[in-house]
């Protein structure tokens, strides 16, 4: 009799969960982008959010909550109700930032549920046109001739920062990063000949190349970029361990029902396969991934561990 009573007592909870999953979403969804508008994270999120509205039949609102290197917006998403109505759209910085910035008030893995990895975006090595080097081989020769560590520009704790340190490790050329608050500052000083080299995303590089003041000599990642088809990969140039890419994805707060995660994940996989979406994402220098929640969870864990180890190895700290 007690067994029957226990089952009956549990039925409302089960019924509520099933009803929630079946009716979800029944009101607008808010997607927090923890960075300013018009950046890569924001652009990718808006491409997906527009299609997500059509797939789910509800409005999807993009919330730009910038500040604290992404921490403010991410914390806002983390503290939201775990019901699927407030999500986080961010980048690889989600798992990198907590490794070098002190007192981040959340765990990027434990406090979030991965939904889907949307993109992968390689980095490029850019050098100043004022250097006596027109390609990677000539730049390498020039860098090796220096009697002191070579300076390079970039933001702390970014894929560009890790690219610079890992290039130094691979080539044996000592480097010192000159920290900038934004990647645009490093690119401007590169164009002006004030720093010799920096790493940045493909889309940012393509816009600078047109000025003629910057040369792109190599690309991280496994294959060449359609945006810069003449730029060889580091692997082609004989430089190993330079498969470094930033990426974009979606998360929900810890405790979000699995059925909701699965519904969102399935929608994002479908959206990622749409030709027009692939074309829009390629236009910002990225390739489409569109992974399942399970695959993204494994990837997020691996990336978190990878960059935690590299942060410690290179002693990367916030400015």
Structural contact between residues 77 and 87, judged by C-beta atoms closer than 8 angstroms: yes
C-alpha 87/C-alpha 72 separation (Å) is: 14
- Sheet strands (E) in 85-206: 86-91, 112-128, 150-154, 175-179, 197-201
pLDDT at 3: 46
Phi and psi at 56, nearest 5°, equal -100, -15
Please state, for a pLDDT cut of 70, what percent of the chain lies above it.
Answer: 92
Contacts of 297 (CB under 8 A, 6+ apart): 113, 114
Length of the chain: 319
Distance, CA of 8 to CA of 74 (rounded, Å): 40
| Pairwise pLDDT comparison (187 vs 236), residue with the higher score | 236
Where do the domains of the chain lie, and which CATH numbers do they carry? 2-121+246-314 (3.40.190.150), 122-219 (3.40.190.10)
Q: How many CA atoms lie within 13 A of 78 on its CB side?
A: 18
Mean of all residue pLDDT scores within the chain: 91
pLDDT (0 to 100) of residue 271: 98
C-alpha distances in Å from residue 217, one per residue of 111, 120, 169: 39, 20, 18
pLDDT at residue 208, as a whole number: 74
Ramachandran angles phi, psi of 316, nearest 5°: -80, 125
pLDDT at position 93 over 50: yes
- Tens of pLDDT, residues 193-225: 999 999 998 877 777 777 788 999 999 989 999
3-class DSSP assignment, residue 33:
strand
pTM listed for this prediction:
0.89
pLDDT grade, residue 256 (50/70/90)?
very high
Contact indicator for 177, 154 with CB cutoff of 8 Å = yes
Instruction: Give CA–CA dist 266/32, Å, rounded.
Output: 20
Nearest to 207 by CA among 182, 184, 233, 180: 184
Alpha-carbon gap, residue 142 to 127, rounded angstroms: 11
pLDDT digits (tens, 9 = 90+) for 5-56: 444 455 454 444 445 557 899 999 999 999 999 989 999 999 999 999 999 9
């Amino acid at each position: 009799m007690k067994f029957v009573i226990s089952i009956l007592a549990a039925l409302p909870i089960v019924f509520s969960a099933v009803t929630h999953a079946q009716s979800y979403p029944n009101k607008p969804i808010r997607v927090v982008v923890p960075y300013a508008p018009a950046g890569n994270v924001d652009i990718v999120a808006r491409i997906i959010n527009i299609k997500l509205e059509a797939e789910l039949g509800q409005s999807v609102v993009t919330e730009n909550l910038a500040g604290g290197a992404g921490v403010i917006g991410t914390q806002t998403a983390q503290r939201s109700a775990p019901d699927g109505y407030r999500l986080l759209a961010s980048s690889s910085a989600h798992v990198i930032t907590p490794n070098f910035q002190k007192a981040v008030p959340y765990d990027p893995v434990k406090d979030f549920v991965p939904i889907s990895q949307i993109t992968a975006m390689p980095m490029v090595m850019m050098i100043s046109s004022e250097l006596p080097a027109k390609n990677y081989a000539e730049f390498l020769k020039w860098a090796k001739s220096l009697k002191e560590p070579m300076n390079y520009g970039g933001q702390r704790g970014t894929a560009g920062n890790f690219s610079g340190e890992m290039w130094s490790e691979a080539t044996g050329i000592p480097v010192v990063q000159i920290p900038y608050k934004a990647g645009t500052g490093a690119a401007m000083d590169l164009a002006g000949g004030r720093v010799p080299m920096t790493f940045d995303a493909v889309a940012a590089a393509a816009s600078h190349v047109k000025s003629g003041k910057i040369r792109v000599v190599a690309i991280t990642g496994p294959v060449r970029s359609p945006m810069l088809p003449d730029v060889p990969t580091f692997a082609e140039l004989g430089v190993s361990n330079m498969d470094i890419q930033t990426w974009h994805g979606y998360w929900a707060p810890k405790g979000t029902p699995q059925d909701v995660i699965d519904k969102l994940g399935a929608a994002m996989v479908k959206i990622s396969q749409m030709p027009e979406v692939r074309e829009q994402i390629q236009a910002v220098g990225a390739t489409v991934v569109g992974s399942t929640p399970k695959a993204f969870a494994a990837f997020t864990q691996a990336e978190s561990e990878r960059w935690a180890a590299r942060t410690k190895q290179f002693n990367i700290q916030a400015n």
